Amino acid sequence: MMSCVIWLSALTTEKSESEIMNKAILMGRLTRDPEMRTTANQVPLASFTLAIDRRFKNASGERQADFIPIVAWRQQAEFASRFLHKGSRVAVVGSIQVRNWEDADGNRRITTEVVADELHFADSKPSGGYDEGPSGQDNQNNTLKKNNDDGFFPGPDDDTALPFDL
């Protein structure tokens, strides 16, 4: 079971408005490969959708999923496009953002998305080492294939296992 935790908290004090907190922590699987683009100012931008199973089953006994749009900028975008693929399990830490725009027909559109501040692998280490993916880019992480200190937690790859003991 993948989980979704969204923590929004308003912590305003008399001191300043800058103490408002907007933080989302999500874990799920990518529904497709990240879409990489660059802005007019050459800033990398990657977008993808995270499928997150709900913690409960519906009346017919089936689990439903939420599909959360994620946007990553700069180094996080490059990381996502290089190492994440459809089906990858990933943990995302970021903030919730609402955008408004007008489409080509003049209709007002609104979207809510999570802007990723941090992306973390949540899958077990792949057998045979770490794969750069289909991009064919040079392998800067070749040393990850050769040692065990690669940041992955050992353990089963089922959705109920925790990477730590309680």
C-beta separation of 122 from 91 below 8 A: yes
Q: pLDDT tens across 59-93, in order? A: 898 889 999 999 999 999 999 999 999 999 999 99
C-beta separation of 70 from 92 below 8 A: yes
Q: Which pTM was predicted?
A: 0.65
CA distance 55 to 112: 21
pLDDT greater at residue 137 or residue 80: 80
CA distance 84 to 163: 20
Q: Has residue 112 got a pLDDT over 70?
A: yes
C-beta separation of 84 from 119 below 8 A: yes
The backbone torsions φ and ψ at residue 165, rounded to the nearest 5 degrees and listed phi first, read: -90, 140
CA distance 117 to 71: 9
Catalogue the E-assigned strands of 17-162.
Answer: 21-30, 35-38, 44-57, 63-73, 89-102, 108-121
CA distance 112 to 70: 9
